Structure 1
Amino acid sequence: MEGVWDKKVDANHDGDGLRDVSPSKIRVDDNGYTNYIFSKKSFTIYNNSISDDDFEIFRAFLEERTQIYPSDGKIPCKLVAAEAKKVLNHFVVYSKDSNNPYFESARLALKNGKLALLRGTVKLYLGKFTTKYWRKKRFTNEINFWTFQVGLLDHILEHLGWIKNKETRDWEKTLQWTTHSKDKMKFEAICTANNLNQLLDFTSENYFEGTRLREIFNKKLKRGYDVDISDIINVALFYDNLVGKNTDEWNEAWGSFESTTNTRNARITSNIISLCRYSLGTADYLEQVSNALDKYYDKILEKNEFPDEVIEKICKTSTQWFKFLEKHGIEATRNEIYAFLIDQLKKQPQHVKNLRSFTKKVLTLLNSKYEYLKIRFEVE
């Protein structure tokens, strides 16, 4: 049906039109409803293809090749988040020193807590809204701060060695890191932007309105790039692990789906259809991973299948495993990986369940908005 959703939408940047959102089937049921049926999708990057061989899936899981996370940069989130934490910690230090000229500004900035100063990728990372895998494999080049205390933020950034680009008006800093797999030093410049213009759109007395998970989802659902869809999926599959305040934020975030579907905007509808397609595609693959783990998890203890040199190779794909190996040796590392696999045997099926439940709920909501047109969207 023309005009209800966009058949071609942007996948990576504005105007690329690379994502095709066409149904694979159209069926009219006995009640006169037109059912638009879409196929499931999976993210495929750098020619990584999904294998049907369970042992190959198991090996790929150990080497962290199973899950794909579209990114909007090249720097590991861990490094970018570490820089953000330095800035946030300075806010805290200033807020505790009544003799500091920025004392009142810092206290005001921290009214809703440190993480309320952030949004976007780094907020998801530091807020621990996602799995450890996402936090290890997601990359970005940007920190998005969200505060009215512009002078204080600029002062802290300059103090920490950031340099302001006079043309873009962004603050920039070059980070360096070593990858264990290739033992090469890489360099990358990152930018941080204070979204003051967006802040001025709000009239609430709460200076930090717009930084919660609901607002992050709202932006991602409207834009709908691959990276946005992937980020939402990786929060959704993890939500049962969220505790305390984060659980409340997840429950509140459902409002972003309600508000965006209410618009019946063609692009947003297309983005939500795509979200459901990729969500179910991801769930199916995680189920394959879960089955492979169940079949082969104890193989890690067999030296004929995983000799010492293979364990060392696996460790080079992960900073955590690499450091553990250096400190404790090969046998302790082998046993630690085994314990990790046992833990994943419990978590992976729950992630699958979460995604399928989430997708069903989203599709039900979306279809309710088009009941008056007697159309339904399905993914199979």
Structure 2
Amino acid sequence: MGLGARTITVLACATWAIAACASATEPVATASPTEPVIASPMPSATPTLVVYEGRNPDMTDDEAVARAAHPGTGEVWLDEPVKVEPPAGLDLAYRENASWYHVGDRGSTEILVMDDFVLNAVVEVDDDGALSEVTSPWPHADAVAEPSIPLPVSDVYYDSLALPRTWTSPDGVTLELRPDHMLSWDSPSESWGPLAASARVATAEVVRLTDGGSGWAVMAAGPLDPATVTVLESVVPGRVEDVSYGLRLPLGFVVHLVMDPFTGMRPDAGSDSTGYTSLLDQACGDTPDWRSFGSDEDTSDWELVDPGDEVPLYRALDSNPLVQAFHAARVDMAEHGFVEASDANVSVADFAALPAIIGTPAPDGSGWWIEIRSDLSLRYGC
């Protein structure tokens, strides 16, 4: 018996001992033992399962989690996509190299995915072999989208693809988790290899892909001098890696997520530029959505431009090795006639002051998110 139990016993004795002392010579009656009374268990209330019907672009995070956990739309996903032949009766001469996968079922209806590099199409095949394209499988989409292949459009959606509105990555970037597209950068036929799993959100998995520069083409912008190539290769890929986030779906592929560490905080890039882009600029576009991350930056090589409401904006100074490397490349391209000849006369200080390269520290202090003005990228014009 523990100390607490003994203490309770002593207090109880003290309560009735006063009456016992008043007649110490009288025998004390002993209570007859009684049968213990066992209370009948109370019936437990059965939780009410809320079934959500219809699409809801305004769904709360709680609704999204509930839909994903208890889908009311009947889909059951396979553990792994199974490669199959293209469905009969479909004319896809212009996509004859696409791969097809059986990824799940909705009752007796098969759910297939056409995998054509970055484009994916979800197609359902019913008992009679009739085909339809599920152009908006997301329950958060307010309407069906335009078809991507010549098939009737279905209004079907899948509750199991419901997702919370946002998720914050380990490096402090808030990602929008409700895509409105079917573009991917990892699929059964076009795998990017092992991806670093970051978190499971509902039935999807947020994954993080990094690349240290294996995909960037130093020569893409023109015939650079070997010395300039050496500078770029020694400074940029070794100092910066590109990062992209995506959602691995039960459909069998990863949909890329748009991420913006700068939260829109960018200076005016001028009329000759489309804005700012990844330093490595591997995708030469917005798929996948790469952002450059540097973990070896010296704060003395950066100058604060705007403290911002959400994140601070900095520009790289002429002392920054990245500025020096890209300036050398710009001068080299000007001398070869690939860009304006006058660019060869721009000093490193003036190049830095444009600003050519901007950055913002990662919220977790692990490094810097870095971008270059698009027209100064080595892939300018691609």
TM-score by length of 2: 0.22
Which protein shows a greater Rg?
A: 2
Between structures 1 and 2, the one with greater strand share: 2
The structure with higher relative contact order (CA 8 Å, sep 6+) is 1
TM-score by length of 1: 0.22
